[in-house]
Structure 1
């Protein structure tokens, strides 16, 4: 067994907490025919390529945060990649090739998004409570935000950008004494200030603006629900309510993407599938893998091609980390590109 450094052990401990918080890969089949019958139509995803294998050091691989860059490349992060292995990967989906965009000895990156303000690639480091950024080509790493927010450290999971470049982050903090401590946090585009928009949440994970940027959808993993925050012109909260209760069985709500028609694509932790809802909460479809796909247990996130309908879903499990594709119900926009 390879001996790990103190830093590696601390990162592994954080990854363990992350798995419990909902970016892991539990086994089991929580769906089945009964669930599919009440979940709208079934969309079958097709394998594009394998990107990663299970890492000996961490005992797993977990792909997240697919996002298309302006050059057409698809960026994917591997949350559990150890030091020296690719942590941020660039994929040419047409050629089915991939290469390392970034690696380091520290980060456990759970999401990726390009900023509309400065064009840089932003990554959330769950393990260290930081948001870091890279040049589009992968160089020039910078720490954008770190430290406490309202006296408490963050566990940033997913990111959504407002139209002016402010960041909206799901802070997936866990339970203490039976009390939920998760939050939705807004960080201004210069990284100088952070504001808590919602608190006492049950491990918030996915986060995305709606199609008109009038409000935020966010999922709470340990409650299997999607809530909606309506925002004013300055990004303040005017109302909040539970919008959708996800009937996931053993599966739990992971990341969220939104297409041009306002449909929600809800990733499932613990099941290699996605649930698709319209903005009124009606279950439109379930995206499933082919029945022959084995050893894949979590479909975390999706990116829909900007201006097109081809969707690329990150799927992981004991068989490795894969990209699967399917036809989305509407075209891709910023809200359906990473997070």
Structure 2
């Protein structure tokens, strides 16, 4: 009796499986269909759909124009500095949401910002048409501009940061996906010459450094790569110290920041989101911008995490979609680093 019962259940299961396969074959034969995961302007890749996520909220509308924003960074007083790339200006937003222009450039577009230990603000600026760039330094109020690297040096500085010794790392945004001419360089304290750290990059873009200064992160905009570089010292890569930690899908890894726990936050330009990695380069979460599935706020370039809290502020542009340029807010895993 028991054997007959088991046999009946077995054949019933086979019949259901056959019906299910037939239904699937029928759907496939009728053609492909968009589903909840593949519809919309920027579907999240399958490998990243199950990551925990939060949706950021609007914090401050910078302009109604579709200007590209970049280079978000905090100073010691809690002011948020960032670049309006399109208007060639560096902006400051106070905790009370008072916005002002610190400096306006006339020939180059500012993109990356970093504060020196002496309080000066360093600016990575470039021009994509003429393929030239510079690194400039000003006081925090925009006065007394200096040229640290001149356009004649032949670099296209995109992003930059200081280490704990006052040395300056910067990315060189040269090349393209099939012609990797870009690189990462380091300028030692009180020096003017740049030391090559990592060559052969296609449009080297974002750069970040762990709190202990031993792990350097770099994104390749042209080949969608995240590099994890272990350092023996400021200019020496440790043995077996370089690896491609991640390969992004779709457009395109831009600027990034590390938090106090060693996690890495990468703004993805063209997808309206920030992907978060643990210290080994394994994805652990993401921050999504609202209305991204409808094609808005996709030009997410940079972010800053408050060093006193875990408040994260991401800068985005809506391009030609009509919603201007906005700063969004979300909570990160940990506090930011003051760099």
Q: Same fold (TM over 0.5)?
A: yes
Tell me if structure 1 keeps the 8 A contact 2:173–2:183: yes
Cα offset for 1:33?
A: 7.8
* Partner residue, 1:144: 148
Cα offset for 1:290?
A: 2.2
Tell me if structure 2 keeps the 8 A contact 1:113–1:123: yes
Distance 2:176 2:311 in 1: 38
Tell me whether 1:51 sits opposite 2:91 in the alignment: no
Higher mean displacement: 216-225 or 232-241: 232-241
* Partner residue, 2:67: 61
- Greater C-alpha Rg: 2
Cα offset for 1:302?
A: 1.1
Tell me if structure 2 keeps the 8 A contact 1:159–1:167: yes
1:33–1:105: structure 2 CA closer, same or farther, 3 Å change rule? Answer: closer
Higher mean displacement: 209-218 or 239-248: 239-248
* Partner residue, 2:21: none
Cα offset for 1:312?
A: 0.6
TM-score by length of 2: 0.80
* Partner residue, 1:195: 195
Out of 318, 323, 326, the residue aligned to residue 322 of structure 1 is: 326
Which SS does the other structure have where 1:126 is aligned?
A: strand
The Cα offsets for residues 27-66 of structure 1, whole Å up to 9 and x where unpaired, read as x83334846524x101111100111243xxxxx5111111
Report the count of equivalent residues: 291
1:277–1:234: structure 2 CA closer, same or farther, 3 Å change rule? Answer: closer
Tell me whether 1:91 sits opposite 2:93 in the alignment: yes
Tell me if structure 1 keeps the 8 A contact 2:90–2:103: yes
Distance 2:202 2:295 in 1: 30
Distance 2:49 2:227 in 1: 25
The Cα offsets for residues 114-157 of structure 1, whole Å up to 9 and x where unpaired, read as 012x22000001224210011012211111122566xxx11110
* Partner residue, 1:12: none
* Partner residue, 1:130: 134
Tell me whether 1:219 sits opposite 2:219 in the alignment: yes
* Partner residue, 1:20: none
* Partner residue, 2:172: 171
Which SS does the other structure have where 1:175 is aligned?
A: coil
* Partner residue, 1:13: none
Which SS does the other structure have where 2:102 is aligned?
A: strand
Q: How does 1:1-339 map to 2 (within 5 A)?
A: 29-32=41-44, 34=46, 36-38=48-50, 40-54=51-65, 60-81=66-87, 87-92=89-94, 94-116=95-117, 118-127=118-127, 128-146=132-150, 153-175=154-176, 178-239=178-239, 240-248=241-249, 250-291=250-291, 295-318=296-319, 319-334=323-338
Distance 2:248 2:149 in 1: 35
Cα offset for 1:191?
A: 4.4
Tell me if structure 2 keeps the 8 A contact 1:229–1:241: yes
Distance 1:187 1:296 in 2: 35
Distance 2:277 2:231 in 1: 21
Cα offset for 1:299?
A: 1.3
Distance 1:199 1:311 in 2: 31
The Cα offsets for residues 79-126 of structure 1, whole Å up to 9 and x where unpaired, read as 1215xxxx011102x42231111113223111111012x220000012
Distance 2:41 2:238 in 1: 39
Cα offset for 1:260?
A: 0.5
Distance 2:289 2:310 in 1: 18
The Cα offsets for residues 179-206 of structure 1, whole Å up to 9 and x where unpaired, read as 3101001112334211111111121111
1:140–1:181: structure 2 CA closer, same or farther, 3 Å change rule? Answer: same
Higher mean displacement: 297-306 or 140-149: 140-149
Distance 2:47 2:236 in 1: 37
Q: Which runs of 5+ in 1 are unaligned?
A: 1-27, 55-59
TM-score by length of 1: 0.80
